[in-house]
Structure 1
Amino acid sequence: MGKWGVFYSSVTGNTKMIAEKIAEAAGGADLLPVEEMPEDLSGYEVVALGYWLRLGGADPKMMRYLPKVKDSTVILFETHGTDPGSEHAVTAYARAAYLLGEGCEILGTFGCQGKINPALIEKRKNSSPDDPHGGTAAMERWKRAANHPNEEDFSAAADFVAQMKRKLVLRQKYREHKQ
């Protein structure tokens, strides 16, 4: 198994916590905030990129770095206040993948809820009822998100890394068999 680079953008600490679990499960991974991400990623077998959601996509810091990631095997991971598996969360992966530089292969994706910035909650409390980020349904979602990431999410992140490692082994066997 080759070396992993785990790079993340985090404001509230949610994405950083998941990044730490991914790096720990990967074993010996480099773990850095996206601002310190090296230009040359060729030394990594896997480049794991983590972000929080803003406007249905990766946050602005990560959006600036995604096009610089080229010719890499990539894992995208995200934290968000929305429900896991929601259209909003799933679409965000596609938006992030679209921004990646040329020659990238997405190995997998992982996401979990995370606490929402209290300033954002305060701002949205007075949203109009037709605002998808406001109203009773949003408040219920915010309550659920307030308990994440939690131990269950950390365990799921570690399981995800194990799945990705198995996928890498199977991919290598397939490529060797094809030759």
Structure 2
Amino acid sequence: MGKWAVIYSSVTGNTRTIAEAIAEQAGDADVFRVQDAPEDLSGYDVVALGYWLRLGQPDPLMLKYLPKVHDAEVVFFQTHGTAPTSEHAITSFARAGYNLGPGCTILGTFGCRGKINPAMLAKRKNAGPDDPHGGPKSMERWKLASTHPDAQDIADAKDLVDRMKHKMVMRERFLAKKAAKLAALQKK
């Protein structure tokens, strides 16, 4: 149902992997790196925007692009080195939504762990005990992130597409019933 634009920003390949899975499941989809993405998205029924996290929000390239997206049905997907249910991950969806242009509807979200950039890991290994990214807990988190995105993450991303398609069908049915009721009331 409908044409998708899948737009992503990726440094290590994590977000690109999820973008490709979403596009494959969507069927009728065009995939763009954010730096190559069109500004006119009016030809798309769904705009899926994917990014990696930096400072608890979408990366700088995606942050620059988000305000250009307007009047669109949006799906966010993100990869990060923390648990998808963490406050850090969840809050970043809100920050992405805050940066969207006017008239957008957020249909859904998807997040999964992803391998952390080796340059960032090297820098963080020397973090002191007061640094929130240092210490044994962080090292354990990094180790877990190093195995993602995995086959389950890819399957979950594809499931997101199916759920969004279902959501759009159900919304159209609801709106059609609502319009029919309103028309019947107006005839009386």
TM-score bucket (shorter structure): over 0.9
Does the aligned pair in 1 maintain the 2:71–2:104 contact within 8 Å?
yes
Question: What is the percent sequence identity of the aligned residues?
Answer: 63
The alignment partner of 2:77 has SS state of: strand
The alignment partner of 2:51 has SS state of: strand
Cα shift at 1:169: 0.4
- How well do the aligned residues superpose, as a CA RMSD in angstroms? 0.6
Unmatched segments (≥5 aa) in structure 1:
none
- Identify the residue that residue 140 of structure 2 maps to in structure 1: 140
Does residue 130 (structure 1) correspond to residue 124 (structure 2)? The answer is no
- Identify the residue that residue 25 of structure 2 maps to in structure 1: 25
Alignment-mate amino acid for residue 89 of structure 1: A
- Identify the residue that residue 16 of structure 1 maps to in structure 2: 16
Between structure 1 and structure 2, the one with the greater Rg is: 2
Tell me the distance in 2 between the aligned counterparts of 1:131 and 1:94: 24
Does the aligned pair in 1 maintain the 2:5–2:44 contact within 8 Å?
yes
- Identify the residue that residue 167 of structure 1 maps to in structure 2: 167
Unmatched segments (≥5 aa) in structure 2:
180-188
List structure 1 segments (4+ residues) > 3 angstroms apart after TM superposition. Answer: none
Cα shift at 1:120: 0.5
- Identify the residue that residue 58 of structure 1 maps to in structure 2: 58
**Map 1:1-179 → 2, pairs under 5 A:** 1-179=1-179
TM-score of the aligned structures, taking structure 2 as reference length? 0.94
Tell me the distance in 1 between the aligned counterparts of 2:44 and 2:174: 20
Does the aligned pair in 1 maintain the 2:2–2:28 contact within 8 Å?
no
TM-score of the aligned structures, taking structure 1 as reference length? 0.99
Tell me the distance in 1 between the aligned counterparts of 2:134 and 2:46: 38
Tell me the distance in 1 between the aligned counterparts of 2:82 and 2:133: 9
Cα shift at 1:140: 0.2
Tell me the distance in 1 between the aligned counterparts of 2:172 and 2:131: 47
Tell me the distance in 1 between the aligned counterparts of 2:57 and 2:105: 19
33-42 or 50-59: bigger deviation: 33-42
Cα shift at 1:160: 1.0
Tell me the distance in 1 between the aligned counterparts of 2:83 and 2:167: 26
Q: How many residues align?
A: 179
